Structure 1
């Protein structure tokens, strides 16, 4: 039986469950929406659909958090965001040309890589140089297009430095909002953006908004040390889930 936007009850149920959990973690950690939701959605939808639906939802959330971004985001987020805009389309073109089973495998590997990247010791507060910042922007854009996951290079860039969690979260959210816009624009440009995906995203958004709000409440009640520990747990969980999927 097909329901709203041409999706079945099972597909919508899977999407709602994944959206609630991922949005709570995103509200608390500042990331995790795409890392957690895209692999789950890709089990019920095609990889391209999973990426684009997640981009819609991430953009909606970001537009509601513009004030937080303006107040706390680091200037480097603008540089990385610009590079994401320039490099997302090639990643999406590659995804559209990749067989779905292979794309699911590669997306799971991307989620796995995010955990390994934050195992390094916390670095000083100093902003990395232009080469490192540029590399983060380019790889984040490519991963936005291919996997809907700008986070794997971005999260270690901010969480791995001794900066306040408000600055890290606002900077990551800024980049992820730009990445969501870039992903949708690229999808429209290459002809893979179907407007029924907007219907599914709108269906998911109230659940995502609730989860993100609950996570944001928790964010304001934890210390920097607890927050950094939680981000590690989130990435570890995503890595384990990806590894289990690879071994099946």
Structure 2
């Protein structure tokens, strides 16, 4: 398959801009890259290829900052990662077996629930139950396989608690990196992964690297309240876009 066949010059420019912009949001908030870039990539690729290409980009950028993520992440991230690895193949299988209309509705309601959850009062650092952690891990894995978007369940879990911003961001990004790895492994195991996607990801990666670097710099210069407002705005925008696609 010629992965570039569906892209004209304008589409390639749009993909590069989307890669830069989505990575900027990732660096700023700690999430959001997949939510923003998958729909744009899906204009020229199949939904499965768009999800798997985004997984490649997420792994590439995650590995570039893995030391910081391992140092700052909360221990709960590892429990979530284990469950994500187990449930991602199920999500990817469901993606291949269901229609785009059903997928849009499911994604819309999950995105909306994440936005509502982020509006709830902040909780204490220790106020999270193992059952909640387990539910987040299972749902995140299903979303990783189904939509390449592990963030909607994970973001409220960390941002909604009263923990340091560095811990929240590192925990989320470590989960997203491992979730994307699980998505690629699942895609390969199910025979759905075209390895030419790795080359396309490499072509887009410089834009991702630059956007992520700029987002990190901006994030380090804003107050915690402003950062949380940015997180809520991105989740809200994603929820509105998902609802529009599902019911518009």
Is the shorter-chain TM-score for this pair beyond 0.5, marking a shared fold? yes
| Deviating more after overlay: 237-246 vs 44-53 | 237-246
Which residue in 1 is equivalent to 2:42?
42
1:46-75 residue CA offsets vs partner (Å, 9 max, x unmatched): 211111011000000110111111221000
* Secondary structure at the counterpart of residue 163 of structure 1: coil
| Deviating more after overlay: 238-247 vs 191-200 | 238-247
Do the aligned partners of residues 58 and 86 (structure 1) sit closer, same or farther apart at CA in structure 2, a change above 3 Å counting?
same
Q: TM-score, normalised by structure 1?
A: 0.93
Q: CA RMSD in A?
A: 1.9
Structure 2 distance, partners of 1:17, 1:104, is 24
| Deviating more after overlay: 17-26 vs 107-116 | 107-116
Show structure 1 runs of 5+ residues with no match: none
Which residue in 2 is equivalent to 1:53?
53
1:65-109 residue CA offsets vs partner (Å, 9 max, x unmatched): 111112210000011111111110010011011224443454444
Structure 1 distance, partners of 2:170, 2:74, is 8
Q: For the Cα contact (< 8 Å) 2:124–2:162, is it kept in 1? A: yes
Show structure 2 runs of 5+ residues with no match: none
Which residue in 1 is equivalent to 2:205?
205
Structure 2 distance, partners of 1:237, 1:39, is 13
Structure 1 distance, partners of 2:73, 2:127, is 13
Do the aligned partners of residues 35 and 188 (structure 1) sit closer, same or farther apart at CA in structure 2, a change above 3 Å counting?
same
| Deviating more after overlay: 69-78 vs 234-243 | 234-243
* 2:95 matches 1:95: yes
Which residue in 2 is equivalent to 1:169?
169
Q: TM-score, normalised by structure 2?
A: 0.93
Q: For the Cα contact (< 8 Å) 2:19–2:207, is it kept in 1? A: yes
* Secondary structure at the counterpart of residue 128 of structure 2: coil
Structure 1 distance, partners of 2:97, 2:19, is 27
Structure 1 distance, partners of 2:104, 2:12, is 19
Structure 2 distance, partners of 1:198, 1:104, is 26
- How many residues align? The count is 247
Structure 2 distance, partners of 1:112, 1:20, is 25
Which residue in 2 is equivalent to 1:66?
66
Q: For the Cα contact (< 8 Å) 1:72–1:171, is it kept in 2? A: yes
Deviation at 1:5, TM superposition (A): 4.2
Q: For the Cα contact (< 8 Å) 2:53–2:201, is it kept in 1? A: yes
